[in-house]
């Protein structure tokens, strides 16, 4: 009679799992982070027309298209034909990467450009400043306590 019994190892109990909540799908799937690289989608076409000027400027800036075989998590997005065959393309956008050092240098360049423009605007604005009636003072706040009446 003991031969007819199934062992407990074959029985499986269902585990209670918390139901996952629904979330909207990502429009542009991003690859898993790779150390030393920054990823971004670059426009190669808009409204069905190629945009060679944009992709050319981005390639000169240092961006390089990524191959689908290097990113297996995005292999289904690989372009099957065209100029960027074998690369990851989604709706006229091409996944590219650039070394993080380049991005830091790029950010520093644009930050210095922004600072120079703000200084130019301030200098032009302050050119008409008169000490008897200043255009603006240093921003300060002062807290005082009243008598409460």
Tens digit of each residue's pLDDT, the chain (149 residues): 556 766 665 566 566 666 777 777 777 888 888 899 999 999 998 888 888 899 999 999 999 999 888 888 877 767 777 778 888 888 888 999 999 999 999 999 999 999 999 888 888 877 777 777 666 655 566 777 777 65
Could you tell me if residue 146 is inside a domain? no
Phi-psi region for residue 107, left (φ > 0), alpha (ψ -120 to 50) or beta? alpha
Q: In this structure, is residue 45 part of a structural domain? A: yes
CA distance 18 to 123: 61
The answer to whether residue 113 is domain-embedded is: yes
**Residue 69 lies in domain:** 38-126
Please say whether the beta carbons of 28 and 89 come within 8 A.
Answer: no
- Tell me what pLDDT residue 2 has: 55
Q: How many domains does the chain have?
A: 1
A 10 A CB-CB count for 31 gives 17
Report if residue 107 sits inside a domain.
Answer: yes
Residue 131 lies in a domain: no
- Is the entire prediction scored with pTM above 0.75? no
Tell me whether residue 120 is in a domain.
yes
> Is 92 within 8 Å of 43 (Cβ atoms)?
yes
Greatest Cα pair distance in the chain = 109
Q: What pLDDT sits at residue 98?
A: 94
The answer to whether residue 15 is domain-embedded is no
Domain assignment present for residue 69? The answer is yes
């Amino acid at each position: 009679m003991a031969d007819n019994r199934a062992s407990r190892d074959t029985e499986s109990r269902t585990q209670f799992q918390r139901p996952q909540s629904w979330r909207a799908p990502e429009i542009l799937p991003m690859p898993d982070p790779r150390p030393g690289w920054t990823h971004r989608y670059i426009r190669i076409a808009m409204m069905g027309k190629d945009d060679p000027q944009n992709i050319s400027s981005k390639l000169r800036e240092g961006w390089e298209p990524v191959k689908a075989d290097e990113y297996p998590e995005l292999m289904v997005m690989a372009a099957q034909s065209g100029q960027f065959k074998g690369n990851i393309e989604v709706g006229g956008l091409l996944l590219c990467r650039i070394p993080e050092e380049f991005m830091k240098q790029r950010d520093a360049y644009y930050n210095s450009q922004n600072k120079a423009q703000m200084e130019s605007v301030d200098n032009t604005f302050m050119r008409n400043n008169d000490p008897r009636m200043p255009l603006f003072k240093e921003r300060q706040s002062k807290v005082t306590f009243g008598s409460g009446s």
